[in-house]
Amino acid sequence: MTMMTATQALSVNPATGQTLAAMPWANAQEIEHALSLAASGFKKWKMTSVAQRAQTLRDIGQALRAHAEEMAQCITREMGKPIKQARAEVTKSAALCDWYAEHGPAMLNPEPTLVENQQAVIEYRPLGVILAIMPWNFPLWQVLRGAVPILLAGNSYLLKHAPNVTGCAQMIARILTEAGTPAGVYGWVNANNEGVSQMINDPRIAAVTVTGSVRAGAAIGAQAGAALKKCVLELGGSDPFIVLNDADLELAVKAAVAGRYQNTGQVCAAAKRFIVEEGIAQAFTDRFVAAAAALKIGDPLVEENDLGPMARFDLRDELHQQVQASVAEGARLLLGGEKIAGEGNYYAATVLADVTPDMTAFRQELFGPVAAITVAKDAAHALVLANDSEFGLSATIFTADDTLAAEMAARLECGGVFINGYSASDARVAFGGVKKSGFGRELSHFGLHEFCNVQTVWKNRV
């Protein structure tokens, strides 16, 4: 079943195939109402103090904790995330609110400087209504990691969420309202592609932020560019996970399995291409396959399960086609490679070996529980393989040589490098990519300033 029709968005439980809800697409009048409300909300919100906004963020964090289990259950039912991971997503999102409430105000302080003995000040002003187009794989975290700094800066935030997580979208809006977020400051609209175009072209939208596929990001970015709207794009990734001969093998395998199979492999910044130096390749592969085979797959509401269903059946079909194509091209199937029979969108934990740069598993993003292992002759070859991708989101290096790790990090073409650990996002550090993984940054002070009017006030002496 598709997640959308010509008239409505469908929320379908990926573990059972049961339709949870059907929501009509917003019509032109409803979109106009959402835009009007967001614009009026912005006019009031921008006049509040940063301290007031920070308190609202604290209240949102508290409200999330009060509804933590309800929110986690909604995430799991709508997109299949294992329940323990869904709870962790809520906890992390609440902590994000706290961190920005505590540290964000100082990042918005004016920055005075002298220009040829004349006084100048850099001010961080809000831009306006920010349209956010968000995905289903982290239906709470992805929304809040953009919304929290956007709201703290004094903007209003208008969400268009993925059509298969409308229940999560409704619950997030309800929780923020309960936390005292003023009307119009945070809103959401169930828009289809035509509705999104209407909003991007509306003069009340000041900027756009998108997390999604390369295809979606390119289309939305083109529309935003044509309308001369700022756009931040966080798109796909095919992250390399480099393991050198001197790596701590046990630690590397543990991180590799967690980094590849968390959220059933449906993470843009997940490790996908495992580039292993030949001296350690067989030992790493043997241990990795054994650890992946031990993962428990099943009902995501059962706490013991490590893997749930994939969020949509069409994504499972696409992933299976990529695996089959890679095997036909010469990859060796060591584990899995099959759809699991039954009602849900389950796909077995899969490992491909002998993957080369000309194969589908190397060139395309594998958005599901499939790992592709490539052997490198040495560290220099590993670096070449890692950079041989149209993506540039994150990368991992496992080695005991800190100097070599730093040298390789400087040459990796990506937005984030993780040494002896798998990729992650955290409020305290910037997150984003290069190449076709997008542009702009989220989180830290970089994410806060992305949607500010960085205004120079220059006072000449008279």
Catalytic residues: 234, 268
> What tokens does 172 get?
């997030």
Residues 6+ away with beta carbon under 8 Å from 236: 213, 214, 268, 365, 367, 391, 393, 436, 437
Q: What residues contact 405, with CB distance under 8 A and at least 6 apart?
A: 397, 399, 419, 420
Task: Give the C-alpha separation, 370 to 361, whole Å.
Answer: 9
Rounded CA gap, 206 and 252, in Å? Answer: 44
Q: Of 332, 373, 374, 364, whose CA–CA distance to 436 is shortest?
A: 364
Cα radius of gyration rounded to whole Å, the chain: 23
Question: Cα 242 to the chain's mean position, in Å?
Answer: 22
Helix/strand/coil percent split, the chain, to 5: 45, 25, 35
Q: Are 163 and 128 in contact (CB under 8 A)?
A: no
**Which residue type, as a one-letter code, is found at position 20?**
L
DSSP three-state, residue 392: strand
133 dihedral zone (left: phi>0; alpha: psi -120 to 50; beta)? beta
11-39 burial code (b ≥16 CB/10 A, e <16): bbbbbbeeeeeebebbeeeebeebbebbb
**CA triple 269-88-108, angle to 5 deg:** 70
Residues in the chain: 462
Q: What angle do CA 425, 428, 430 make, to 5 degrees?
A: 60
β-strand 271-277 against 129-133: which pairing, if any? unpaired
